Chain A
Amino acid sequence: MLIEKLSRTVVIQKQNSLITKGVAGNAIQVNLRADVVIFDVLSIGISGVNPAQKLVSVFQADKCRARCRQKEMTGRFRSIPPRFYEGTSVNRINPLLNMGRSSSGRIAALSVFIALLMALFALPSKAAPLDPSSYRFSGFGTLSLTRSGEHPFQFRSNNSRPGTAVNSWSPQADTLLGFQLNTSFSDRLIGMLQLVLRDRTKQTLNDSVEWAFVGYKPTPELVIRGGRMGLDLFMLSEYRNVGFAYLWSRPPVEFYGSVAFPHYDGADLTHSLPIGEGFLRSKLFIGTAKGGFSSRDGGIDLEVEPVFGGSLAFEQGPWQTRISLARARFGAFRSNVAPLQNALLAAASLGWGEAGSLAEAIDATDKPINYYALGLAYDSHPWIAQAELNLIDSGFEVFRPLTGGYISIGYRTADLTFYGIGAMAKNQGDRKRIDSAPPPFIPLQNEVQAFYDLPRTQQKSLSLGTRWDIRHNLALKAQWDHTWVEAFGGGLWLQEQTNTDDREIDTFSINLEFLF
């Protein structure tokens, strides 16, 4: 256990060196290469350490190496990721420091943000000339404060996103700024670029590009697009960053929180057809998507290749319905779980029978994931209602089939809308228990159990909120959510550790949404 602790306190000092704090407090400078880390850590080891403990320490150091390499490859090095430490109390992390933890750029971005918000009211209305080859610049943003969480849960609006400080008002969860450029090269050829600045697990330009496509319209009914586009899985998934476009503080986490892929790179084909009094929009898409599942020690990178699917949406009068299906295959997953896998394979050869099959089960590579969704919306003054239901069915044992759904009803009076939401998300089947390890492998077994428990989701929530349209492009929202999280069911939260009892958590949000 001493060794485990030791390797967990590894501090990333600079890109090419690590400093580990020894038992006696002596700092030892070592090379980034993991085998050296293991060597150093083990060399301080105390005699009498059993093989399983050694294995755990190897695993920890290995895990660290994987993270370091990952950072090295992405060319970005965070000084000290707060979630890297187990012992760090989340309360002590200043949200403003968090905002700027990757670079001072985020503080700068926030200033630009506020400046733009001020400029928003000074902008004259645009009167673009009537020219088919033109461009349009527009944007959207959210200034938000969220107070949520309770030890061991940190709030996040999506599984791929970093957690928010517990029990303090924080801008991290939903604050963002988006810029968009639309161009038409001709009547038939269009292009679009959208950048979204927000707090992210990885802060790269590539991740900030939400949309970048070129589209061609051979006929007015048909559009073919290629490039990067929003993944059109659910009703709001294409515009979930645009708070002004929907009623709530955020799309219901129970439904939208588990989609870890913000966009995909590929192509789609959309056909619009008037039917009777309504419109039917059919879409097919194919591409690859990258996303992630964030966790306290950095999380899991996910990639699906290929992802393909389709949707049918029918709109008539105040009604909208849609059905969508998508199928994907996990790829490039192995590197994330390699340390744990290696430890399991070693354990298998040292006498833990089940370890071999577990090593195979925790690797998502090439396993399928299917999305099925239904949606219905109604919008006619004064009522606005919406409901969606989905099933995310994965062949990856760690992500058990997940059903999610919500129903929202709102009532409008002039510029105010009052609404309520009921939402739930549940993994099918019982919690996977791993209990076959012989005593020396108990620590490793606990690691594997934690890996299985991490994404497990069993929760429901009730929300009440108000949206106030202050201007034609400015709205203020306030929302309260009360969430019931079952034991071992906090997968939608960023968990410092898995909860072994049922919890109830309140989330308060105040959002200022704008368009420009």
Chain B
Amino acid sequence: MTCALPRLLISLLLLASVAGASGEEIAIVVNLDNPVDSISQRQLINLYMGRHQEFPNGRQAIPLDHAPDSAIRRLFYKALTGKTVAQVNAYWARLLFSGRASPPQTVDSSQKILEIINHDPKAIGYIYSSQIVSSVKVIARVE
């Protein structure tokens, strides 16, 4: 948490500077036992767009996603890829229906994402920064 604090402050400053930004900041979280401390935007795109289902250290990653209609999912993909949820789904349909990869598992709420991450060192998910709890580790922020 100590190293996350300055980043949080910078992000808050950034948030404040982006007047009228459509949403809150999003935090990428993993299990406390996960040795990974940070992840780049490119690595995050690789994970959530089915190119590479691994953490930067080579361990298997299980990405978790929010419900397709949720605001956080819309914000997350817009920030990460510039695409709408429908466009991301179209991309995933190519991979799924040609047997290449399966899209991240969908979880109903941030609460459930936190529960799964608490129990599984391989899981990775995203929640609003305001929902961060001390039982998980923040490895990146997206806004």
Inter-chain contact A472/B97, CB cutoff 8 Å = no
Taking CB atoms, residues of chain A closer than 8 Å to B123 are 130
The answer to whether residues A277 and B106 also contact, given A215-B99, A242-B93, A242-B94 and a CB cut-off of 8 A, is no
B residues 37-88 touching A (CB-CB < 8 Å): 42, 46, 51-54, 60, 62, 67-69, 82-87
Q: Which of A125, A315, A472 contacts B51 (CB 8 A)?
A: A315
Taking CB atoms, residues of chain B closer than 8 Å to A241 are 97
B residues 90-110 touching A (CB-CB < 8 Å): 90-91, 93-94, 96-99, 102, 105-108
Inter-chain contact A238/B51, CB cutoff 8 Å = no
A253: CB under 8 A from chain B?
no
Nearest Cβ on chain A to B116's Cβ, whole angstroms: 6
A450 and B94 alpha carbons, distance in the complex (Å): 39
Inter-chain contact B60/A130, CB cutoff 8 Å = no
Taking CB atoms, residues of chain A closer than 8 Å to B69 are 125, 472
A273 and B87 alpha carbons, distance in the complex (Å): 25
The answer to whether residues A130 and B62 also contact, given A194-B97, A239-B93, A472-B89 and a CB cut-off of 8 A, is yes
The answer to whether residues A213 and B99 also contact, given A220-B60, A473-B68 and a CB cut-off of 8 A, is yes
A246 to chain B: closest residue by CB? B90
Inter-chain contact A125/B106, CB cutoff 8 Å = yes
B7: CB under 8 A from chain A?
no
A274: CB under 8 A from chain B?
yes
A residues 127-182 touching B (CB-CB < 8 Å): 127-128, 130, 136, 138, 140, 178, 180, 182
The answer to whether residues A127 and B108 also contact, given A242-B93, A245-B90, A475-B86 and a CB cut-off of 8 A, is yes
Q: Which of B60, B83, B94, B107 contacts A381 (CB 8 A)?
A: B83
Inter-chain contact A126/B106, CB cutoff 8 Å = yes
Inter-chain contact A225/B99, CB cutoff 8 Å = yes
The answer to whether residues A515 and B93 also contact, given A127-B108, A279-B52, A415-B86 and a CB cut-off of 8 A, is yes
A138 and B92 alpha carbons, distance in the complex (Å): 12
B70 to chain A: closest residue by CB? A125
Of the listed residues B97, B105, B120, the one surrounded by the most CB atoms of chain A closer than 10 A to its CB is: B97
Inter-chain contact B87/A469, CB cutoff 8 Å = yes
Taking CB atoms, residues of chain A closer than 8 Å to B68 are 125, 472-473
Inter-chain contact A515/B99, CB cutoff 8 Å = no
A230: CB under 8 A from chain B?
yes
Inter-chain contact B52/A244, CB cutoff 8 Å = no
The answer to whether residues A469 and B94 also contact, given A127-B107, A182-B102 and a CB cut-off of 8 A, is no
Taking CB atoms, residues of chain B closer than 8 Å to A130 are 62, 105, 116, 119-120, 123
Main secondary structure of the interface of A (DSSP, over half): strand
Taking CB atoms, residues of chain B closer than 8 Å to A259 are none
- Encode A216-244 as 1/0 by CB contact (under 8 A) with B: 00001000010001100000001101101
Taking CB atoms, residues of chain B closer than 8 Å to A230 are 98-99
Q: Which of A136, A194, A242 contacts B102 (CB 8 A)?
A: A136
Inter-chain contact B42/A242, CB cutoff 8 Å = no
The answer to whether residues A244 and B99 also contact, given A277-B42, A315-B51 and a CB cut-off of 8 A, is no
A274 to chain B: closest residue by CB? B52
Q: Which of A125, A136, A245, A272 contacts B52 (CB 8 A)?
A: A272
A381 and B98 alpha carbons, distance in the complex (Å): 25
Nearest Cβ on chain A to B123's Cβ, whole angstroms: 7
Inter-chain contact B106/A192, CB cutoff 8 Å = no
Instruction: Count A-B pairs with CB separation below 8 Å.
Output: 97
Inter-chain contact B86/A471, CB cutoff 8 Å = yes
A residues 258-315 touching B (CB-CB < 8 Å): 272, 274, 277, 279, 315
A245 and B94 alpha carbons, distance in the complex (Å): 6
Taking CB atoms, residues of chain B closer than 8 Å to A242 are 93-94, 97
A203 and B19 alpha carbons, distance in the complex (Å): 59
A91: CB under 8 A from chain B?
no
Q: Which of B42, B53, B112, B120 contacts A220 (CB 8 A)?
A: B53
Taking CB atoms, residues of chain A closer than 8 Å to B62 are 130
Taking CB atoms, residues of chain A closer than 8 Å to B52 are 272, 274, 279
The answer to whether residues A469 and B86 also contact, given A127-B112, A130-B62, A242-B93 and a CB cut-off of 8 A, is yes
A380: CB under 8 A from chain B?
yes
A9 and B84 alpha carbons, distance in the complex (Å): 57
Q: Which of B97, B105, B106, B112 contacts A239 (CB 8 A)?
A: B97
A187: CB under 8 A from chain B?
yes
Inter-chain contact A180/B96, CB cutoff 8 Å = yes
Inter-chain contact B94/A239, CB cutoff 8 Å = yes
The answer to whether residues A178 and B107 also contact, given A246-B90, A274-B52, A469-B84 and a CB cut-off of 8 A, is no
A130 and B112 alpha carbons, distance in the complex (Å): 11
Inter-chain contact A229/B97, CB cutoff 8 Å = no
A471 and B123 alpha carbons, distance in the complex (Å): 28
- Encode A469-498 as 1/0 by CB contact (under 8 A) with B: 101110100000000000000000000000
A475 to chain B: closest residue by CB? B86
A471 and B67 alpha carbons, distance in the complex (Å): 13
Inter-chain contact A473/B120, CB cutoff 8 Å = no
Nearest Cβ on chain A to B125's Cβ, whole angstroms: 11
Inter-chain contact B86/A178, CB cutoff 8 Å = no
Q: Could you name 10 residue pairs across A and B whose Cβ atoms are closer than 8 Å? A: A125-B106, A125-B108, A127-B112, A128-B106, A182-B99, A279-B51, A469-B86, A473-B89, A475-B86, A475-B90
- Since A239-B93, A472-B89 are in contact, a sample of 17 more A-B pairs with Cβ atoms closer than 8 Å, ordered by chain A residue number, is A126-B106, A127-B107, A127-B108, A127-B112, A194-B97, A215-B99, A220-B53, A239-B97, A239-B98, A242-B97, A245-B91, A245-B97, A246-B90, A279-B52, A412-B87, A415-B84, A473-B86
Q: Which residues of B line the A interface, CB within 8 A?
A: 42, 46, 51-54, 60, 62, 67-69, 82-87, 89-91, 93-94, 96-99, 102, 105-108, 112, 116, 119-120, 123
Interface pairs A-B: 9 shortest CB-CB: A238-B98, A469-B86, A245-B93, A472-B68, A472-B85, A381-B82, A245-B94, A125-B67, A242-B97
